[in-house]
Each structure stands twice: as C-alpha cells, then as structure tokens.
C-alpha cells in the first residue's frame, strides 16, 4: 500500500495508541475475571 | 634489508595512519560510556560492554566487524537474528513480579498511557524527514525498554542500531533525573499528596500462573507480529510463577541473562564505528529519543489524572509516571516524590503495579506497531 508520511503518522498515532490502550484494557478485564474465578485464599500464603 | 625494515615498521604504525578523525572521538565516547557505567552506576551491565565494544571497533585494521571478525560473528548470530533481545526477555519475565499489577488490574491502563510518547515521537521523526521504518525505530526508544528497541531496530533500521540502543539504555538510567520535574509540572500539590493506602494481596497463585498465558494468547491474537516479544517475557514469568522449574528460572534470570547481556552489549558497541555513527542524524535520534521518554512520562501522569477523576480521587496521578518500562527505577522515583509531599504516603507498590504494566505495555506497543505495519504492507 502506497502511503504518504502524513497518513502513515496519523494512522500510527490513532491506531497504535488506541490499539495499545484497547489491548491492555481487554487484558485488565481478563485479569479481573481470573481474580473472580480463582479468588485469593488466605491459606495460600502459608 | 632496509625495505624489509620499512615494511615491518609500517606494520606497527599502520593503525595510526589509518585512523579516521571520527575514531578518536568515538574512543572518547566509549570512554564516557564506561565512565557513566563504572563511576555513575548508570546501567553498568550494558554501558560497560557497549563502551568497550565502541572502543574496540574504532581501532582501525583490527577487522573485528569484518566478515569472520569476532564482533561480527557475535553481531550476526545474536543481534541480526534477534535472538539476544528475546533471550533477555525470558530473563526479564523470570525476574518480574506482576503481583502488584494483578492486585489492581485497572492500573494496566497506565502502562498503555506510558507508551504514547512512542507514537508521538514517531510522527515527529517522520516530519523531520526520517523514513517510515526509521521513524518507527526512533519512536520505539520511548518504550524505555532496551531489548524491545533493539529487536525492532535490528529488524527494520539496522543502521540506526547503535544510536537507538545507546539512547534507550542511557535514558532509562536517567529516569531519576528527568522524571521528577515532569511529574511536578503536570500535578498539583494536593494530587501529589493523595494517599492510596496499602496494596492488599488479592491475586491467587492460579491467577498468577494463568496471567502469562492470557497475555500471550490475547496479546498474540491482537498483535501477532509481536507475539515473540510477548511470548518470551511471559514464558519467563510462567516459569517463575509455576514454581516447578526453578532451575530453568534461575538459569534464565542469571546465567542466560548475564551471558546474553555481555554479548549483546559488546555487539551493540561494535555498531558504533565513528565513520557511520558520527553524523548530525545521530544527535537528532538522541534528542528525539529523549523527547519520547519525556512524553511517555507526561502522558502517563496526565492519564493518571484522568484515572484520579474516574476513581473519585483515590488514585495518585504520580503513579502514572511509572507506566513506562524502566523497572523498578521509575517506581522508586514515584515513591520518593510522593513522600516529599506526604511523608506518610507509600506509593511504591502501586507504582510497581504501574511499572510492570509499563513493561507489558511497552512490549505490546511494539507488537501493535509491528502488526499495524504488517497490516499496511510496509513490512
């Protein structure tokens, strides 16, 4: 795909920043689900 | 006889006669890197071999970076193939405790905001006339993550490898110097005083074991071009958390990481040949790299302010500054700054959470970037 620098830069900013934020948000949701499904039990620290 | 004497003597002075003006300058640069590593304790594990490699490669006629040369063999085997940064990632994963991040998963978002400088600097580098792939490699300095920067640059702009890696590692060690003023500019005294309380242990062992698998699968599906970056760091972490392969974990965080760090450092130093390195472009790359890391800090703190509002004032925006990958320096800086304004404030574990989020974030940002490039057909 032929693309000028301006289009490339803006695409990287929007899709790159958005993609990183979205991926980490999805991961945080998964971690929250994991914590609910496998709750911490106090005896684990023993 | 005299002719033989002359030839013999020439052999002894050829090193001097073949010295390009840039070689002594780079030998001094190598000396400065050694000084920073040895005397100032700035990332000595990397700066010492890089500095020495830089000195070695700037001594003419030794042929260390020519075909079959000692440094060339190391460079081709570990840097060109990207094996070294990936092996270091296994070690980093084995050394990192994601516990504080798992206690408050929303802090993951700070790890994303701490990478925004990458993309902003990429755009600036494009505006300054760098090619697309060069701009990507310069922007990635903002990941504040040496192995990621080396991985991306060695693949897409290998001629910039020396400048990019030196910038990534040097700025990482300067975090305690440049972060505090930025944190101060973007926060009020009241915000800096917010007490976030103590971090309560709430993640089970099962969660800790499943975490690296979830990150690998989800992150890999979204950004497959960066899967190997995510996969190696998460393999190291899985070995650490599962607890049944302690020999492998110890080898990853000690022997393997140490050997690879030495070879990687000396190979990077070997890319700093004065004739290639000393040009205005290098200074521009160093300046842009610095800007990238400053922007990361600013974006992290500003996102911390957003999270403070969303959480009803429970989050101290200072921890946003730890959303970069400089682990654990950045978290320590946050703790120190927080205590300056509220001596009863213990932000360390919260900042550690953001900091480990920044580690995942930096790798993910690179993975996302590579996948976008692939999607656009640029790589």
Question: Residue by residue, what is the 3-state secondary structure of A6-40?
Answer: HHHHHHHHHHHHHHHHHHHHHHHHHHHHHHHHCEC
> Which residues of chain B have a CB within 8 Å of the CB of A36?
none
- Using the Cβ of A13 and the Cβ atoms of chain B, whether some distance falls under 8 Å is answered with yes
In sequence order, which residues have a C-beta less than 8 Å from that of residue B144 and are 6 or more positions away? B168, B171, B172, B175, B293, B296, B324, B325, B326, B330, B358, B362
> Does the beta-carbon distance from A35 to B357 stay under 8 Å?
no
Structure tokens, B223:
């950004």
Q: What angle do CA B33, B327, B41 make, to 5 degrees?
A: 30
Per-residue pLDDT at B242:
95
In total, chain A counts a number of residues equal to 46
Cβ–Cβ < 8 Å for B117, B326: no
pLDDT tens per residue, range B144-174? 888 899 999 988 999 998 889 888 887 877 8
Mean pLDDT over B46-52 rounds to 91
> Which residues of chain B have a CB within 8 Å of the CB of A9?
122-123, 126-127, 135
Mean pLDDT over B95-120 rounds to 91
- Using the Cβ of A9 and the Cβ atoms of chain B, whether some distance falls under 8 Å is answered with yes
- For residue B209, what is the enclosing H or E element? helix B205-222
pLDDT tens per residue, range B344-365? 888 999 999 999 999 999 999 9
Mean pLDDT over B77-83 rounds to 89
Any idea where the domains of chain B sit in the sequence? 12-375
Please determine, for residue B56, whether its predicted confidence score (pLDDT) is greater than 90.
yes
Closest to B145 (Cα-Cα) out of B119, B124, B115: B115
The C-alpha atoms of residue B145 and residue B92 are separated, in whole angstroms, by 11
Please determine, for residue B303, whether its predicted confidence score (pLDDT) is greater than 80.
yes
Mean pLDDT over B208-226 rounds to 94
Per-residue pLDDT at B338:
92
Structure tokens, B370:
């590579």
Please determine, for residue B51, whether its predicted confidence score (pLDDT) is greater than 70.
yes
Q: At B307, is the pLDDT very low, low, confident or very high (cuts 50, 70, 90)?
A: very high
Low-confidence ranges of chain A (pLDDT < 70): 1, 43-46
Mean pLDDT over B35-56 rounds to 90
> Does the beta-carbon distance from A13 to B119 stay under 8 Å?
yes
Provide φ and ψ at B177, rounded to 5°.
Answer: -90, -45
Per-residue pLDDT at B169:
80
Per-residue pLDDT at A45:
54
- Using the Cβ of A46 and the Cβ atoms of chain B, whether some distance falls under 8 Å is answered with no
Long-range contacts of B70-74 (CB under 8 A, 24+ apart): B71/B266, B71/B267, B71/B270, B72/B270, B74/B263, B74/B266, B74/B267, B74/B270
CA dihedral B126, B130, B131, B137 (to 10 degrees): -90
Interface test with B, best of A23, A32, A46 (most B CBs within 10 A): A23
């Amino acid at each position: 795909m032929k693309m000028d620098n301006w289009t490339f830069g803006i695409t990287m900013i929007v899709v790159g920043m958005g993609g990183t934020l979205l991926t980490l948000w999805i991961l945080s949701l998964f971690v929250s689900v994991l914590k609910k499904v496998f709750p911490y039990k106090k005896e684990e620290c023993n | 006889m005299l002719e033989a004497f002359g030839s013999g003597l020439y052999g002894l002075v050829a090193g001097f006669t073949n010295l390009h003006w840039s070689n002594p300058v780079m030998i001094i640069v190598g000396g400065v890197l050694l000084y920073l590593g040895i005397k100032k304790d700035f990332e000595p594990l990397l700066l010492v071999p890089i500095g020495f490699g830089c000195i070695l490669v700037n001594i003419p006629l030794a042929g260390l970076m020519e075909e079959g040369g000692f440094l060339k063999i190391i460079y081709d085997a570990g840097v060109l193939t990207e094996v070294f940064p990936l092996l270091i990632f296994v070690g980093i994963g084995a050394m990192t405790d994601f516990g504080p991040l798992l206690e408050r998963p929303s802090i993951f978002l700070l790890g994303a905001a701490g990478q925004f400088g990458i993309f902003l600097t990429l755009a600036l580098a494009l505006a300054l006339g760098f090619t697309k792939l060069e701009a990507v490699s310069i922007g990635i300095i903002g990941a504040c993550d040496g192995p990621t920067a080396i991985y991306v640059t060695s693949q897409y702009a290998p001629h910039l490898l020396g400048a990019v890696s030196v910038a990534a590692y040097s700025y990482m060690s300067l975090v305690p110097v440049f972060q505090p003023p930025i944190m101060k500019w973007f926060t009020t005294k009241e915000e800096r005083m917010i007490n976030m309380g103590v971090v309560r242990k709430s993640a089970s062992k099962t969660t800790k074991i499943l975490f690296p698998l979830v990150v690998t699968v989800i992150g890999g599906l979204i950004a497959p071009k960066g899967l190997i970056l995510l996969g190696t760091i998460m393999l190291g972490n899985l070995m650490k958390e599962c607890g049944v392969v302690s020999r492998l974990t110890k080898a990853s965080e000690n022997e393997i990481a140490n050997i690879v760090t030495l070879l990687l450092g000396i190979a990077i130093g070997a890319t700093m040949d004065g004739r290639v390195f000393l040009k205005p472009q290098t200074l521009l790359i160093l300046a842009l790299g610095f800007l990238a890391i400053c922007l990361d800090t600013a974006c992290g703190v500003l996102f911390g302010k957003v999270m403070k509002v969303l959480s009803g004032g429970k989050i101290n925006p200072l921890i946003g500054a730890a959303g970069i990958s400089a682990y654990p320096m950045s978290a320590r800086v946050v703790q120190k700054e927080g205590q300056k304004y509220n001596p009863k404030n213990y932000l360390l574990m919260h900042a550690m959470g953001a900091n480990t989020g920044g580690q995942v974030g930096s790798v993910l940002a690179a993975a996302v970037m590579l996948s976008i490039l692939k999607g656009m057909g640029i790589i």
